[in-house]
Structure 1
């Protein structure tokens, strides 16, 4: 079951993160006072919320003990092939040198569980987090089928963990860069994923309401644009700012969840395709940027360089999705069906 509006949001966030990276790498880092500085961080947060929400919508009634293997098979074939491709490109295309231990951690995906900062591809830290979340997901769903308030319980626990990180583990007087390992700890991000599950439970079956969706979007965007922030990006992930901006992320996702867009077919196709290739855009764009810098001096004409990287990213992401992602997803779906039949 796909919710088209959530696909649109996923694709838009992938583009926003790409813009954030390309512009910050070309013109210098953005701080917490800029909308790009905020969305560069919270675009990933929205990914987490979307992940928990969409998984719960799909699996809340069909994930059981005898379908666990099927669930993990589909997740494996959705995540690992592209992750492996990016590791391959980092080593053989960009000619980066990594220790055998780091290679094994990334190929297996175990880095998310034991060493979140040992990712190879830029942005892959969030994939490591996702793999951790997938291990929690069946527990939440299975408990929710037996206990009415299980989702609320898990959300409160994960929120307490987030508050602990925001107020006690991360130091607002230091930089985010110096505390990156702490920030990307999956237990600091878990509440976003579980919050997505909770959001699906609260309003996942509600009727569409465009008027309310527009109001929610206007509120969230206005708050993001005018909320007073300054200084290093650590200020957007610590103390009350962390809770406030995370709340805005939930509001944005909720708005797209209850929205029913009636747009021109061409725009629908473009936004839908962006959603489909968002994973490729997210992981490939840093590799494309790095590779192109070996041929072109991006300091001479940075705007031209960024546009070129944009075009290459979109084209190669489309190819990667059609050739690699979609085929491996089909394999995963086939094997998961076979597994379900066997388990019966």
Structure 2
């Protein structure tokens, strides 16, 4: 199927939201759960996980099978997409933060820290990349259940992931405890987010059955979701946004936004389309590079507002360069390797 540019738009906007929110918190002051931007930052990462499951299903729907070629191609494409930039960010972070233990380095270089040491990511914000690696290992299970029409098993497995997410939100996480303690102890564990990835796969599968309303209605729905993010009442404690019914409400909004963008059929003016497509393409770079850019600006004597603006500009510029010099060549190389794997040898 053709590329769904609206999903690129959402991915790029989510990455920029994380960047804007982090820079605001780091340069000015931390935000609490009542802050609209803070909520969007937290749930933009959740949107990444939903989009990951959704797009992986759509991309592999016609090609993934129960054979070695499919598993090998899937692994190669994920490795070349994730690791080159991750390795770069690990190296840059080590340059200014010092050498961690060699076991930590090994876990980060292989992506295995997501399986064993959830808070052990060297690069800031890479905890979510470790979590993605765990999700990639579960993807063939979910996908093949759908491929072989084992709908009951898929439903039960997906429901189980939602039940586990419910257990984390309502039992393990407390609205009164310190956010930093709960973040490392419970929140960044893969089981706490697997339901988002599984739900994204379900959205991808059922996309062909979706009701496609008029774009005006979708635009209104998107606006209402954002208003709901802004006005929903919570206590100031940051843990409030990841706990219980509050979390349930924000997760529903996150799925709703992904659905609205997945079925949208915008025909945007070219400058807006190019800008949003640019942000979507560079979203991974924006997400991983912005903490590194912050480190080099925070020690300067520039005015805070100037550092904020320069950090955003430099992040976008650096993301453009890294995408074209590292990410894109790596992806093209991976595609070529996969093509050779599937090309029959001459007789």
TM-score by length of 1: 0.95
User: 2:31 is matched with which residue?
Assistant: 30
Aligned counterpart, 1:162: 165
Is the counterpart of residue 322 in structure 1 residue 298 in structure 2? no
Partner of 1:43: 44
Do the aligned residues in 1 keep the contact of 2:176 with 2:237 (CA within 8 Å)? no
Q: Deviations over 1:99-157 (max 9, x none)?
A: 11111111010000111110011110100010000000011111112213444223211
Say if 2:183 is the partner of 1:180.
yes
Gap regions ≥5 residues in structure 2: none
Query: Aligned to 2:116, which of 105, 110, 114?
Result: 114
Measured after TM superposition, the shift of residue 212 of structure 1 is: 3.2
Q: Is the 8 A contact 1:284 1:317 kept in 2?
A: yes
Find out whether 1:223 has 2:228 as its counterpart.
yes
Name the stretch that deviates more: 133-142 or 329-338: 329-338
- Aligned equivalents of 2:17, 2:169: Cα separation in 1: 24
Contact 2:54 2:202 in 1 (8 A): yes
How large is the Cα RMSD of the aligned pairs? 1.5
User: Matched residues in 1 for 2:342 and 2:137: separation?
Assistant: 19
CA deviations 1:35-64 (Å, max 9, x no partner) are 111111101000111111011111123211
Q: 1:260-316 CA deviation, whole Å, 9 max, x = no partner?
A: 11211111111101100000000000001102223x135xx2111010011110101
Aligned pairs, how many? 339
Q: Corresponding residue for 2:155? A: 152
Deviation, structure 1 residue 208: 6.5
C-alpha distance in structure 1 between counterparts of 2:217 and 2:254, whole Å: 16
Counterpart CA distance in 2 for 1:279 and 1:134 is 16
**Cα distance, 1:342 vs structure 2:** 6.2
- Is 1:90 the counterpart of 2:106 in the alignment? no
Kindly state the Cα deviation for residue 13 of structure 1 after the two structures are TM-superposed: 0.6
Counterpart selection for 1:255 from 260, 277, 282: 260
CA contact (8 A) 2:94 2:122 kept: no
Q: Which moves more between the two structures, 55-64 or 211-220?
A: 211-220
Equivalents in 2 of 1:200, 1:208: separation in Å?
17
Q: 1:69 to 1:9 in 2, by over 3 A?
A: same
**Between 196-205 and 113-122, the greater mean CA deviation after superposition:** 196-205
Cα separation, 2, equivalents of 1:249 and 1:81: 29
Query: 1:302 corresponds to which residue?
Result: 304
Matches within 5 A, 1:277-288: 277-288=282-293
In structure 2, the partner of 1:289 is 294
Residue of structure 2 equivalent to 1:265: 270
Distance in 2 (CA, whole Å) between partners of 1:315 and 1:45 is 25
Question: What is residue 336 of structure 2 aligned with on the other side?
Answer: 334
Q: What runs of 5+ residues in structure 1 fail to find an aligned partner?
A: none
1:202-247 CA distance string (max 9 Å, x none): 2246456313312321221121111001222211111111111100
Which residue number corresponds to residue 201 of structure 2? 197
What residue is the counterpart of 1:69 in the other structure? 72
Shift of 1:338: 1.9
- Distance of 2:208 and 2:246 partners within structure 1: 27
TM-score, normalised via structure 2 length: 0.94
Distance in 1, Cα, partners of 2:253 & 2:261: 13
Rounded Cα–Cα distance in structure 2 between residues aligned with 1:325 and 1:208: 36
Distance in structure 1 (CA, Å) of the matches to 2:324 and 2:194: 31
Which structure 1 residue ranges, 4+ long, deviate > 6 Å from structure 2?
none
